[in-house]
């Protein structure tokens, strides 16, 4: 028996989203049906709507979600009805060449639900990042549903499913930030502020927040930034060098996704420092760097996909940090909204008014 629920669908490139009836099948082997409690509005949802990810319209949007497992399919043993879960867009397979080499965060064969969710007329939907959680219920691969402590409020918990994990992991997993490091974060939206929180928890001595929007710099202080740099007021590379005795930071995290901020991150590193790119560029962007500087400055230039996370390891840990008051997930929740308000939330996101708008379900 399938169920029909309401969901937010992007039907065509660049067109506003609409609320549609979504048909959600019962879970088959290896699948889980999740009643969504909350789902954050992320840039990637907007990118899907704009056709910037691929052309597989219609999309069922939403992917930063927490909820309760309603039922599970055959063969699912470690998850059951009533479990409180955060949904992950990576569920390592354990068998691909990367998993077999002990690097499951690069899994090349991550699982999603095998059965499609559809519109009422049977048209299959492409769920955003294999999740599709701007819907009262969604069907995922059981491995995508990660059990966490149910005392966490869903609005906050869901955010670790994407933006917070990406930023936190960029600092801690990819950047390897450790005690005593100086860290600069360029771009302090949800992702950059999570990187600031991660660097702070990892023991960084100095965390420099860089943004062109003073509101974002205020928020950054709340997440642990020790210094702030308004990049609209002067050269941020100079400012970072000045704050680090002329040397640059040990780890610089680029959380914007633009060539000019990548270049700043490259130049704002100390010798042999690490650059972590977590901002996603658009496919037309290019960058030119003097090869001698690439060689001479040494260090590491890394990109961070989903914070190089292992959901089953990292989600419960972040929730525990939240519940013990050491990670301010509530600080990322700028507002809670209804399913009908996603289009308006995209506009607020574009104006930089929010870290995250979060859809909640009654
Ligand atoms: N210098 C510094 N900060 C900048 C600049 C710039 N030139 N241009 C934009 N910013 C700031 C914005 O003011 C904003 O605070 O970068 C921040 C980007 O944050 P958001 O738009 O809220 O995006 P966020 O959700 O944090 O994601 C950042 O990471 O995962 C990716 O796709 C995501 O590319 C996006 C990036
Ligand atoms: Zn794998
Ligand atoms: Zn996202």
Question: Does ligand 1 come within 6 angstroms of the Cβ of 187?
Answer: yes
**Alpha helices (H) along the chain:** 43-49, 97-100, 154-157, 163-169, 190-201, 214-222, 236-243, 259-267, 291-297, 311-323, 342-350
pLDDT at 210: 98
pLDDT at 1: 83
| Beta sheet of 3-10, edge-to-edge order | 118-119, 18-24, 3-10, 59-60, 126-127
Residue whose CA is at the smallest distance from ligand 1 atom 19: 189
Query: Which atom of ligand 1 lies closest to the CA of 355?
Result: 22
CA dihedral over 12, 13, 17, 21, signed as positive or negative = positive
| Beta pairing partners, 18 | 9
Q: Which of 187, 219, 335 best tests ligand 1's pocket when mutated (most atoms within 8 Å of CB)? A: 187
CATH 3.90.180.10 at 3-161+328-360, yes or no: yes
Question: Does ligand 1 come within 6 angstroms of the Cβ of 169?
Answer: no
**Distance between CA atoms of 207 and 5, rounded to whole angstroms?**
44
pLDDT at 238: 98
**Each residue's pLDDT tens digit, 75-103:** 999 999 999 999 999 999 999 999 999 99
CATH 3.90.650.10 at 167-306, yes or no: no
Question: Does ligand 1 come within 6 angstroms of the Cβ of 190?
Answer: yes
Could you state, in order of their start, the residue ranges of all structural domains in the chain? Answer: 3-161+328-360, 167-306
349 and 357 Cβ atoms separated by less than 8 Å: yes
Residue whose CA is at the smallest distance from ligand 1 atom 2: 211
Question: Does ligand 1 come within 6 angstroms of the Cβ of 171?
Answer: no
Question: Does ligand 1 come within 6 angstroms of the Cβ of 189?
Answer: yes
pLDDT at 195: 98
Which ligand does the CA of 277 lie closest to? 1
Burial (CB count within 10 angstroms: exposed 0-12, middle 13-18, buried 19+), residue 144: buried
Residue whose CA is at the smallest distance from ligand 1 atom 27: 191
CB atoms within 10 A of CB 120: 10
Task: Measure 71 CA to ligand 1 centroid, in angstroms.
Answer: 37
pLDDT at 149: 98
> Residue ranges of the chain with pLDDT lower than 50?
none
């Amino acid at each position: 028996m399938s169920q029909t629920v309401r969901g937010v669908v992007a039907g065509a490139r660049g067109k506003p989203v609409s609320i549609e009836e979504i048909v959600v099948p019962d879970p088959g082997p290896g699948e889980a049906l999740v009643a969504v409690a909350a789902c954050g509005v992320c840039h990637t949802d907007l990118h899907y709507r704009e056709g910037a990810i691929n052309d597989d319209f219609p999309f069922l949007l939403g992917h930063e979600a927490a909820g309760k497992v309603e039922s599970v399919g055959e063969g699912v043993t470690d998850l059951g009805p009533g479990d409180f879960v955060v949904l992950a867009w990576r569920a390592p397979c354990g068998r691909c060449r990367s998993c077999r080499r002990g690097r499951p965060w690069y899994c090349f064969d991550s699982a999603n639900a095998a059965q499609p969710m559809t519109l009422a007329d049977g048209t299959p939907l492409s769920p955003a990042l294999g999740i599709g959680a701007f819907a009262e219920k969604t069907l995922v691969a059981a491995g995508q549903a990660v059990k966490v402590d149910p005392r966490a409020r869903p609005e906050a918990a869901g955010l670790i499913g994407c933006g917070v994990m990406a930023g936190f992991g960029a600092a801690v997993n990819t950047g390897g930030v450790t005690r005593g490091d100086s860290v600069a974060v360029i771009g302090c939206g949800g992702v950059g502020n999570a990187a600031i929180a991660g660097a702070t928890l990892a023991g960084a001595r100095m965390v420099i927040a860089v943004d062109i929007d003073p509101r974002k710099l205020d928020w950054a202080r709340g997440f642990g930034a020790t210094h702030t740099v308004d990049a609209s007021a002067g050269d941020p590379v100079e400012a970072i060098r000045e704050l680090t005795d002329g040397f640059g930071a040990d780890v610089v995290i680029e959380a914007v996704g633009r060539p000019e901020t990548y270049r700043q991150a490259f130049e704002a590193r100390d010798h042999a420092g690490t650059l972590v790119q977590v901002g996603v560029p658009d496919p037309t962007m290019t960058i030119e760097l003097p090869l001698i500087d690439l060689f001479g400055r040494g260090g590491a230039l890394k990109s961070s996909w989903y914070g190089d996370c292992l959901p089953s390891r990292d989600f419960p840990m972040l929730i525990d940090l939240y519940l013990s008051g050491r990670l301010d997930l509530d600080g990322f929740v700028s507002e809670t909204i209804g399913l009908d308000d996603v289009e308006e939330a995209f506009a607020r996101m574009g104006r930089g008014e929010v870290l995250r708008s979060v859809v909640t379900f009654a």
